[in-house]
Amino acid sequence: MPVELDALVLPAFEDLDPLPSAGEVGPWRDAYDLTERTDVPGVAAPLRRDGAGLGVVPTGIGKTAAATTTAALCADDAVDLSDALVLSVGIAGAPPDLPIGSVVIADEIVDWDDKCRFDPDDGPAGADADAGDDADAEDVPIAPDPYTEGRGVVDLEPDLVSDAVESAAGVDLASVEEAPEPAVTVGTNVCADELWHGRTVADHVSWLLEALDRGPYRATEMEDAGTAAALRRFGLADRYLSVRGISNHDRPEPGESSRESFETSLTEAGLETGLANAVRVARAVVDDRRA
């Protein structure tokens, strides 16, 4: 007999050094009695359950792992997701105007890898690729992929997003010492296969979103486009939410290199606060659904 779930939570990882202890799964194990387990073919970790409709399983890092895990869960008769809310919950990067610890509830997910990339040294683009916000679109060495138009964008169900925002309204967010107060916001989530960091890449992301008539982006991560694509294939994308806590900013301060910035941006305080706040918001959403 299949396990019927009211909510399926999909963190990306657990026990990944040097990220927070027990990873993105740990806070769910701490908050709920996830003692029941179900092994699903094609899923690397057991599905942990509380026996009352909540399931939690890590997808693995990256779009391929997320899509494979999600598709396996959707396809196997061991799990019934026909009435389940599916949530990706974890950490993310963000532009520097969004305080560390803020939580982004996505209203759209854009696949950053669904594009054309050109040689930056080929013609005018080579001269202007680093020209910043003043560069014209034709000078940027990327463009939308004409063969996959529209496939790399998933619009999330507006009523579901609205209900999640309402559930989050009463959640107290933790903050990083001497940092601006975090907040819950709704916006574009950009998903990439690569773990990128830097001002030029951030500009390219913004230019691609503008070309797609999307954005501006609020969060960057590595799984949710894969998860959303798998759910869409099984007709379940209308019950999907992405809840991401901001753990670090995606570009350096002036005068700092991208490599230096990346090495110092992933602080323990930022990672722990971003994850804690994402879980707090997601728990409010899940508990309201199950009330």
Mean pLDDT, rounded, of the chain: 92
Separation of alpha carbons 86 and 56, rounded Å: 10
Per-residue confidence (pLDDT) for residue 140, from 0 to 100 = 87
Separation of alpha carbons 49 and 287, rounded Å: 15
With cut-offs at 50, 70 and 90, classify the pLDDT of residue 129.
very low
Separation of alpha carbons 19 and 113, rounded Å: 25
Mean pLDDT within 9-26:
82
Give the least confident one: 198-202, 247-251, 262-266, 284-288.
262-266
Q: By the 8 A CB rule, do 145 and 116 touch?
A: yes
Residue 206 DSSP label: H
With cut-offs at 50, 70 and 90, classify the pLDDT of residue 192.
very high
Residues 143-173 as b/e (b if ≥16 CB within 10 A, e otherwise) read eeeeeeeeebbbebeeebbebbbebbeeeeb
Would the pTM count as exceeding 0.75?
Answer: yes
- Express as a percent the part of the chain with pLDDT over 90: 81
| Strand (E) or helix (H) holding 142 | strand 142-144
Mean pLDDT within 170-183:
93
Per-residue confidence (pLDDT) for residue 263, from 0 to 100 = 86
pLDDT tens column, 42-72: 999 999 999 899 999 999 999 999 999 999 9
Give the least confident one: 26-40, 80-94, 256-270.
256-270
Closest by Cα among 86, 72, 105, 79 to 236: 86
With cut-offs at 50, 70 and 90, classify the pLDDT of residue 131.
very low
Closest by Cα among 210, 93, 219 to 143: 210
With cut-offs at 50, 70 and 90, classify the pLDDT of residue 149.
confident
Per-residue confidence (pLDDT) for residue 17, from 0 to 100 = 67
Per-residue confidence (pLDDT) for residue 136, from 0 to 100 = 61
Q: By the 8 A CB rule, do 65 and 224 touch?
A: no
Give the least confident one: 86-90, 117-121, 167-171.
117-121
Q: Is the pLDDT of residue 128 over 50?
A: no
Hey, where are the domains in the chain?
3-114+151-290
With cut-offs at 50, 70 and 90, classify the pLDDT of residue 291.
confident
Classify 3-114+151-290 by CATH class: alpha beta
